[in-house]
A and B are shown apart, each in its own frame.
Chain A
Amino acid sequence: MKRWAGLGFVAPALGLLLVFFLLPTVAALLLSFTDFDVYTVADPSRLRLVAFGNYERLLHDDRFWTALRNTLWFVAVAGPLSVAVSLAAALLVDAKVVRGRAIFRTILFLPVVTTLVAVAVVWRYLYHPRYGVLNQLLGAAGIAPIDWLGDPKWALPALALLAVWKGFGFNMLVFLAGLQGIPERLYEAAALDGAGRWQEFRHVTMPQLAPTFLFVGVITAIGYLQLFAEPYVMTQGGPADSTLSVVLLMYEEGFRWWNLGYGAAVAVVLFLVILAASLVQLRLQRRSVA
């Protein structure tokens, strides 16, 4: 009786996941071995199996490498920046002397719940070369205006800044939870040993936060590997492909040009990269537990 009940309880969820997630995922893998394109949309008999042809093409596709480079740059630069900012915010909010902790926490978290499309629109104006808030502030400091989104050198950093602003609050909450999990007695012991604030941070907080760091780092990296909406709304991948990301490339190939086979290959590669990142996390986690 009970066992059938259990199956009945999970059936709707598993059914939905099977049809709308698992099946399409497997289909994507299969699709990536075909040359599904506009010709195929019109006439399914024009579908051919191409084995690893799409992947081979990826290797020789400059835009793919550009997209991968941009995405990895994003992970490597915006990732640590986001982690650092959120850790700093968490430490500040968690400091013993702070009054009105909940208010600060709420304010710093606010960008997380905002709609990305909406704030991306707002930031596009903040980045306006002439009227934008940012350049006006820089101008007041005597710095020449920067064409944030129009200059290939600056466009990706500009998106990174937005992404960090939008996302650091979430990591901050996770760090806060981690900080609150550190036993008070460790700090007391450190204080007895005459440790200053920095030594306390270095020898108690940091080691205790290690698992949280790992979690935050990997979650952030995986999120940034899927970078899409920021470049889509703000720059369309330009100028000169300087903000083209892997998911944006997949979107363009798949939905703009209907090269579904090729687009699926891009998606699978993205999956492999994310899988690799997750495995690294698992490895590190095991080691830190052991």
Chain B
Amino acid sequence: MKLWTVFVHALLLVASALTLLPLWWMVAASFMPPGEASAVPLRLWPSVPTLEHYQALFARLDIGRHVAISAGLAIVTTAIALTVNTLAGYAFAKLPFPGRDRIFRGLLGALVIPGQVAMLPLFLLMRAFGWIDSWIAVIVPGMASVFGIFLVRQYAAGLPDGVLDAARMDGAGELRVFRSIALPLCAPILVTLGLVTFMGAWNDFLWPLIVLADDDRYTLPVALANLVGEHVQDTELVMAGAVLTVLPVIVLFLVLQRWYVAGITSGGVKG
């Protein structure tokens, strides 16, 4: 039994080390003096840790701007998505209306449509609206999501009807019932959905790459890809850029992971 315990832990440690290696190297390299990341033999620790690449990114390459843009757009997308999807998910679970089940089944069917199919015409639509090269175009595809509606509906279906009806008896309108009763009860799934949406928006690459033309408006991942194109040789600088891109979502995840994990394991699988 003892041997088994040691064996399992050894495997877990090795797996963790392998998983962390790329991330570790990314962080370490971002603090190395120029050229050291390409040293032979391999270095996993900077000889003299330096902040010069971060300074260069912020001072010379104005990366702070792109961090702010990405954060702003991700927050806005998340706020809109939470509002819109929660309203809809709740209604699909708790408010009967004509054609409800048929519409919901239709939405579920739409889950198999890959987002890329709509992308080409969506671009033309953005052009018709005059939104190309604006941030509105970036957030548009993430505002409502079938997956989000589905997630909320699954959760809201478990809310006790009695509590909702009691509020209605007291003369509360549906919006009020939703706001003061249903919403607080749905808080855990809202955190999950918010986190998933935020990460999706933050990490998105292809769409912002297509709709943004002016590099002053680039989101962080697009700016990073551009940075790589220009500074392939400056490994350490690029790694610092990668750290800045990855760090916010990792921190957010670490803080909120309890809800995230719960959301995936409950909503995701049951469906």
Contacts and interface: CB of A to CB of B under 8 A. Distances in A.
The answer to whether A and B touch in the complex, with CB atoms under 8 Å apart, is yes
Interface of A: 1-7, 9-10, 12-14, 16-17, 19-25, 27-28, 31, 89, 92-93, 95, 97-99, 104-111, 113-119, 121-126, 128, 130-131, 133, 136-137, 165, 169-170, 173-174, 176-178, 180, 212, 215, 222, 225-226, 228-229, 232-233, 247, 250-251, 254-255, 260, 263-264, 267-268, 270-271, 274-275, 278
B169 interface: no
A120 B10 CA distance: 28
B12 A93 contact: yes
Given A12-B84, A21-B110, A131-B37, A121 B8 contact: no
Given A7-B97, A122-B26, A177-B265, A31 B8 contact: no
Contact of A10 (B88, B122, B238): B88
Nearest to B85: A13
Nearest to A16: B144
Contacts of A267: 114, 116-117, 119-120
Interface stretch (B51-59, B186-194, B220-228): B220-228
- 3 nearest A-B residue pairs (beta carbon): A6-B95, A6-B97, A177-B265
B269 interface: yes
17 contacts: A2-B97, A6-B95, A9-B87, A13-B85, A16-B84, A95-B8, A107-B16, A115-B221, A118-B243, A125-B235, A177-B265, A177-B266, A226-B116, A251-B116, A255-B120, A263-B120, A264-B120
A206 B37 CA distance: 44
Nearest to A99: B9
B38 interface: yes
Contact of B116 (A2, A13, A180, A250): A250
Contacts of B213: none
Given A10-B103, A107-B16, A110-B20, A23 B125 contact: yes
Given A126-B22, A133-B42, A16 B143 contact: yes
A111 B1 CA distance: 32
Nearest to B253: A113
Given A104-B12, A114-B246, A226-B116, A165 B19 contact: yes
Nearest to A277: B112
B90 interface: yes
B135 interface: no
A3 B268 CA distance: 29
B23 A173 contact: no
Contacts, number: 279
Interface of B: 1, 4-5, 8-9, 11-12, 15-16, 19-23, 25-26, 29, 37-42, 83-85, 87-88, 90-92, 95-98, 100, 103, 107, 110, 112-125, 140-141, 143-144, 146, 149, 173-175, 178, 199, 202-203, 205-206, 210, 220-221, 224-225, 228, 235, 238-239, 241-243, 245-246, 249-250, 253-254, 257, 261, 264-266, 268-269
A122 B118 contact: no
Nearest to B106: A22
Given A122-B26, A267-B114, A270-B114, 18 more contacts: A6-B91, A12-B83, A13-B144, A14-B103, A21-B144, A28-B118, A92-B8, A106-B254, A114-B23, A115-B224, A119-B26, A136-B41, A136-B42, A170-B264, A174-B269, A226-B114, A271-B112, A278-B112
A55 to B, nearest CB: 15
Given A6-B95, A6-B96, A131-B39, A233 B112 contact: no
A12 B90 CA distance: 13
Contacts of B261: 105, 109, 173
B245 A118 contact: yes
Given A131-B40, A275-B112, A24 B122 contact: yes
A228 B110 contact: no
Given A9-B95, A121-B228, A136-B41, A113 B112 contact: no
Nearest to B11: A92
A31 to B, nearest CB: 6
B41 A24 contact: no
Contacts of A5: 91, 95, 97, 173-175
Contacts of A9: 87-88, 90-91, 95, 174, 178
Given A24-B119, A115-B246, A274-B112, A98 B125 contact: no
B21 A133 contact: yes
A92 B146 CA distance: 34
Nearest to A107: B16
